[in-house]
């Protein structure tokens, strides 16, 4: 804000200077023509100018110029010293404004950094405290859920045992019938001297099929038989892999399979045809009884009535644990609500209080620097206008610098000129090398 005010003042000053620039040129030309130098002036060396060292000086009060200045060009060293004092004052004010603007920029950055640090700490602490509140409740919730899981596992295991006992009890008669029928089948095989190797489902499916399932098994067996030669051929060495070898393998496998099938058919199926029919009838009855058992078992396991299994103690324990879990979850909600509505605000205020003193100090310094800059810029504006209107018209802007004023004062002090006009002429002649 201070820089904007300074730029506005400088613009207004430049406008005034532009209005008097033509007059300055005319006066300077008339002054140069009115003074003649009759002697060769001694060589003049412009004294070196050293800028004043400025460390937050107190801005001097503005002292107005004398009411009766007359023609400044006819004045002597006193007027030049007065002008120099005003130019020095203006330079010091400009340095003051620059320092104050830089100070405001530094304070703005420091305030922003401190504010970010405070906000970051607030966010971090709130996140941590909330997580701590949640963690304590979550641990209790997980423990309770783990206990519920264990009790349910024990309950399911106990129920499974009771269901198995019920299935065994309710299917005991059917299982007893199955055991008797199996004994009868073994007796037939024993009396007929038939190997037990042929007392299996696959034998009866292949040689005594009586349903769609049996014919599907036969079809699958044929497919496997046809694929078997190619599988054998794949594992043969590359040196013997030829089309004729593949044909030979196919022929060998098929012939061997037909030979085995024929032998079993002749020596077992035809020779013991009646005994195998009796065994088949008994096996079919066994299958029907097994289907009844599976149906009864499925019905028992789907039964929703658990009163006969003695699960009351497990149910009571589960009910207590679930009530405990609901209570912990509700308490967690209340704790988080209290955190959001009360603790969060208190924590935020506590952290802000720790930063408040330093932030207020920096903001106060920043505001003071802004006010001081505004005051200095007001003085710069007033002093610039005063210098421009009272001195620049006679001397020109180029002669209103401290080094130039020091040079003119040095010329007068050494007796090389009596007034300002002569000092300017002397300076120009020595600067250009003219007499």
DSSP H or E run through 341: none
Which of 59-66's residues contact partners 24+ apart within 8 Å by CB, and which partners?
A: 59/92, 59/93, 59/96, 59/372, 59/375, 59/376, 59/379, 60/89, 60/92, 62/89, 62/379, 62/382, 62/383, 62/386, 64/386, 65/386, 65/390
Distance between CA atoms of 211 and 270, rounded to whole angstroms?
A: 21
- Give the pLDDT of residue 48: 36
Tens-digit pLDDT string for the chain (435 aa): 434 433 443 334 334 334 433 433 333 333 333 333 333 333 333 333 333 333 333 333 333 334 344 577 887 888 888 888 888 888 888 898 899 899 889 989 989 998 999 999 999 999 998 898 888 899 999 999 999 999 999 999 999 999 999 999 999 999 999 999 999 999 999 998 999 888 998 898 988 888 888 899 989 999 998 888 888 888 888 887 888 888 888 899 899 999 999 999 888 888 898 999 999 999 999 999 999 999 999 999 998 888 888 899 999 999 999 999 999 999 999 999 998 898 889 999 999 898 888 889 989 888 998 998 899 888 888 888 887 777 776 777 777 788 888 888 888 888 888 888 888 888 888 864 443
- Give the pLDDT of residue 168: 93
175-190 pLDDT, tens digit each? 999 999 999 999 999 9
For the chain, domain boundaries: 2-127+356-432, 158-316
Residue 58 phi, psi dihedral angles, 5° rounding: -75, 125
- Give the pLDDT of residue 320: 94
> Is residue 427 exposed (0-12), middle (13-18) or buried (19+ Cβ within 10 Å)?
buried
Q: What is the largest CA-CA distance in the chain?
A: 167
136-164 pLDDT, tens digit each? 899 999 999 999 999 999 999 999 999 99
Give every CB contact of residue 118 below 8 A, 6+ residues apart in sequence: 351, 352, 355, 359
């Amino acid at each position: 804000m201070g820089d904007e005010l300074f730029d506005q003042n400088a613009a207004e000053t430049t406008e005034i200077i532009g209005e008097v620039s033509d007059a300055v040129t005319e006066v300077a030309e008339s002054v140069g023509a009115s003074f003649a130098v009759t002697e060769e002036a001694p060589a003049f060396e412009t004294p070196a100018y050293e800028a004043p060292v400025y460390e937050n000086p107190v801005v001097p009060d503005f002292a107005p110029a004398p009411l009766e200045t007359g023609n400044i060009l006819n004045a002597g060293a006193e007027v030049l010293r007065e002008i120099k004092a005003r130019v020095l004052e203006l330079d010091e004010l400009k340095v003051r404004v620059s320092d104050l603007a830089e100070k405001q920029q530094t304070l703005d950055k420091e305030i922003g950094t401190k504010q970010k640090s405070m906000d970051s700490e607030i966010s971090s602490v709130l996140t941590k405290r909330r997580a701590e509140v949640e963690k304590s409740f979550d641990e209790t919730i997980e423990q309770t859920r783990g206990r519920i899981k264990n009790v349910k596992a024990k309950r399911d295991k106990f129920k499974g045992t009771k269901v198995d006992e019920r299935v065994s009890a309710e299917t005991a008669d059917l299982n007893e019938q199955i055991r008797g029928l199996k004994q009868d089948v073994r007796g037939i095989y024993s009396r007929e001297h038939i190997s037990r190797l042929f007392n299996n489902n696959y034998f009866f499916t292949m040689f005594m099929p009586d349903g769609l399932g049996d014919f599907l098994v036969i079809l699958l067996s044929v497919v496997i038989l046809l694929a078997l030669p190619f599988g054998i051929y794949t594992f043969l060495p590359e040196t013997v892999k030829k089309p004729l070898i593949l044909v030979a393998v196919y022929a060998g496998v098929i012939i061997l399979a037909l030979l085995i099938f024929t032998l079993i058919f002749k020596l077992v199926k035809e020779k013991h045809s009646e005994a195998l029919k009796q065994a088949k009838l008994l096996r079919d009855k066994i299958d029907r009884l097994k289907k009844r058992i599976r149906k009864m078992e499925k019905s028992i396991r789907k039964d929703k009535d658990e009163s006969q299994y003695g699960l009351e103690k497990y149910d009571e324990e589960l009910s207590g644990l679930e009530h405990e879990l609901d209570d912990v979850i509700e308490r967690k909600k209340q704790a988080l609500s209290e955190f959001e509505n009360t603790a969060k605000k208190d924590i935020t205020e506590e952290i802000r209080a720790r930063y408040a003193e330093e932030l207020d100090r920096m903001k106060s310094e920043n505001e003071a620097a802004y006010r001081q800059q505004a005051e200095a810029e007001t003085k710069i504006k007033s002093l610039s206008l005063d210098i421009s209107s009272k001195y620049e018209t006679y001397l020109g802007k180029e002669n209103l610098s401290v080094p130039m004023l020091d040079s003119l004062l040095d010329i007068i002090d050494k007796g090389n000129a009596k007034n300002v006009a002569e000092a300017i002429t002397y300076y120009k002649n020595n600067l250009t090398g003219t007499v």
